[in-house]
Structure 1
Amino acid sequence: MSFKIRAARMEDLQHLYEMAKLTGGGFTNLPADKDSLTAKLDRSVKAYDRNTDEHGNDLFVMVLENVETGAVRGTSQLFTMVGQSWPFYSYRLSTLSQTSKELNRTFSAQMLTLVTDLEGASEVGGLFLHPGERAGGLGMLLARSRYLFIKEHRSRFGNRLFAELRGVIDEAGGSPFWDGLAGRFFGMGFQEADYFNAIHGNQFIADLMPKHPIYTAMLSETARAAIGIPHPNGRAAMRMLENENFSYDGYVDIFDGGPTMIAKTDDVTSVKNAKSDEIVGITASGAGLKSIISCGKLHDFQATYAFIGEADGGVTIDEDAAANLGLSVGDMIGHIPR
């Protein structure tokens, strides 16, 4: 069975909607709402159509397509500049130490401070793989093909790149972090607030969230335990990000307390190590180094797994990968080892 990554199109709406219903909540970038998904796709199509290369407020939606059936089985997103339509809020976890000479003791307290430090950065997000396809490295293909897109369109992205990981969600679909902190100020449950944010944006956070630092010692034990902890289903994604040179620097999601992973764009492993070569030969499948390859720009961008071999003047790729992307000898590809 063969898969490829391609630019999302308006006719992918129903596929994305069906996948959105499978996320289980806490997945702001893929809401189970057709109007919101339509708006995302419309914005993405306009971004792919924009023919100037400066860093702007774009959204690129990509999909994972089964080449044999045409079915969409996964999706991912790239936001080139966050915090433009409305402020982009995070909590920053920090420590305040104070010393009492009379007691001869030093006390350290952790605090959460509402910040907009990440405004202007680019975000990799919205990655979701259909539960029926969670094997064979398709999640890695979805995730890492985005870095090949960034490499090919570097001027459209900021110098910092981040990814928000979903935080701890309980069996009832609630968030211990939300219930212990923000929920006390908003009078609504996590699912309702998260859905409202996905549909309308988070300006209501600016309107209602207290702006002063919050001492974590004042939160419930379950809320404190959730700070900076990914959802169990997101631990593999966190390891993948760490392998790409992302790190957790104390920023957490304001809704579920999940960790925000940050990297310098040019230091991301798959951006830094991506190569561009001409195809000089087509070989039998299985010959060479298994890699992720890409071709095309903007709405013509595609990516898939391939077997790459070194050759004079370029590289060889296997016949299956060439067929998946419609490649021939003489075409240029970007590639990174799997």
Structure 2
Amino acid sequence: MTFRLRAARTSDLEHLYEMAKLTGGGFTNLPPDRAALTAKLERAAEAFANKGEELVDEQFVLVLENLQTKRIAGTCQLMTMVGQQWPFYSYRLNTLTQYSQELDRTVRAELLSLVTDLEGSSEVGGLFLHPNERAGGLGLLLARSRYLFVAMHRKRFADRILAELRGIIDERGGSPFWDGVAGRFFGMSFAEADYFNAINGNQFIADLMPKHPVYVAMLDDEAKKVIGMPHPSGRAAMRMLENEGFHYEGYVDIFDGGPSMVARTDDVKSVREAIAGKVVDTDLQEGERAILATGRLDSFRACYGARAVDDEGGVAIDSASADALDVSTGDTVWSVAR
């Protein structure tokens, strides 16, 4: 069974909608709402149609397609410049140290401060793989193909890149972090706020959220212990991000407290190590396992395959990959070692 990643089309709407219903909350980039998903696909179509090289506020949507059945098994997204349509809020966890000479005592207090430090960064997000396909490294293909897309269209992305990981959601679909922090001010459940944010954006946070720092010591224990913790289903994704060179720098999501991972774009392993070469052979029998990609913007496609790079930079690939990518001798293929 062969899978390839490709640019999303408006005709993928129903597949994305069915997957969105499986996310389980806290997944604002893939809301189970046809109108919101349609708007997302239309915005992506505009981004794919833009042939310029300038860095502007755009969103790309990619889908993982089963080439035998033509069904969509997963999706991921890339945002080129966050915080342009409305502020990109995060909490920043930092420490305030105070000393009393009379008591000869030093007190350190952890604070959550509402910030827009990450505004202007690019973002990789919206990664979801259908539960029936969570094997065979397809999650890794979804995740790392995004970085090949960035490398292939480098001028369209910022010098800093981030990834938000979903925080802890309880069995009722609630968020201990939301209940302990923002929920006290909004009179909305986590599910209500999460859905409203996915559909309408987070301007309501700017309107209603207190601007003063929150002392962590004043939160209940359930909220404290989930700050910066990924959802159990996101632990593998956090390890993958760390392997790519992303770091947790104290930024957490304002809704569920999940960690925001940050990296310099050119330092991301799969961006830094991506190479481009002309295809010299499409019948390679044995070679290094790699992620292969070709095409520009709306013709982008990627898959797993085998490669062998010669001294002149030419690339030999296996026949199955050549078929999946629809490339032949002389075409350009980008790749990174698996």
The equivalent residue for 1:332 is 332
Distance, in Å, in 1 between the alignment partners of 2:161 and 2:284 is 37
Q: CA–CA distance in 2 between the matches of 1:202 and 1:69?
A: 38
> SS in structure 1 opposite 2:139?
helix
Corresponding residue number in structure 2 for 1:54: 54
Aligned: 1:64 with 2:58: no
1:162-311 equivalences under 5 Å are 162-284=162-284, 287-311=286-310
| Structure 2 partner of 1:157 | 157
How far the C-alpha of 1:312 sits from its partner, in A, is 5.1
The alignment covers a number of residue pairs equal to 337
Asked if the contact 1:280–1:311 (Cα under 8 Å) also holds between the matched residues in 2, the reply is no
Aligned 8 A contact 1:296 1:302 in 2: yes
Paired AA for residue 109 in structure 1: A
1: distance between equivalents of 2:323 and 2:295? 15
Kept in 2: contact 1:309–1:315 (CA 8 A): yes
Deviation at 1:130, TM superposition (A): 0.3
Moved more, 141-150 or 310-319: 310-319
Give ranges in structure 2 of 5+ residues lacking alignment: none
Secondary structure of the structure 1 residue equivalent to 2:255: coil
Amino acid at match of 1:204: F
Q: How many angstroms does 1:327 deviate by?
A: 1.0
Which consecutive aligned stretches of 4+ in structure 1 deviate over 6 angstroms post-superposition? none
Aligned to 2:3: 3
Greater Cα shift, 17-26 or 323-332: 323-332
Matches within 5 A, 1:118-137: 118-137=118-137
Q: CA deviation at 1:48?
A: 0.2
Distance (whole Å) between structure 2 residues aligned to residue 86 and residue 306 of structure 1: 40
The one-character-per-residue Cα deviations of 1:10-43 (angstroms, maximum 9, x if unpaired) are 0000000000000001100000000000000000
Query: Which one-letter code corresponds to 2:151 in the other structure?
Result: K
Work out whether residues 284 and 306 of structure 2, in 8 Å CA contact, stay in contact via their aligned partners in 1: no
Aligned identity (percent) is 63
Shift of 1:283: 2.2
Structure 1 residue runs without a partner (length 5+): none
CA distance in 1, matches of 2:138, 2:277: 24
Paired with 1:118 and 1:207, the residues of 2 have a C-alpha distance of 19
Distance 1:282 1:12 in 2: 30
TM-score, normalised relative to structure 1:
0.99
Aligned 8 A contact 2:284 2:307 in 1: no
Per the normalisation by structure 2, the TM-score is 0.99
- Aligned amino acid, residue 269 of structure 1: K
State how far apart, in whole Å, the 2-side matches of 1:234 and 1:255 are. 16
Match of 1:116 in 2: 116
Letter of the 2:98 counterpart: Q
Partners of 1:163 and 1:326 lie apart in 2 by 31
Rounded to whole Å, the distance in 2 between the matches of 1:104 and 1:117 is 35
Are residues 1:141 and 2:141 paired? yes
Counterpart Cα distance in 2 of 1:310 and 1:90: 43
* Contact residue 167 and residue 229 of structure 1 kept, 8 A: yes
Distance in 1 of aligned mates of 2:210 and 2:326? 54
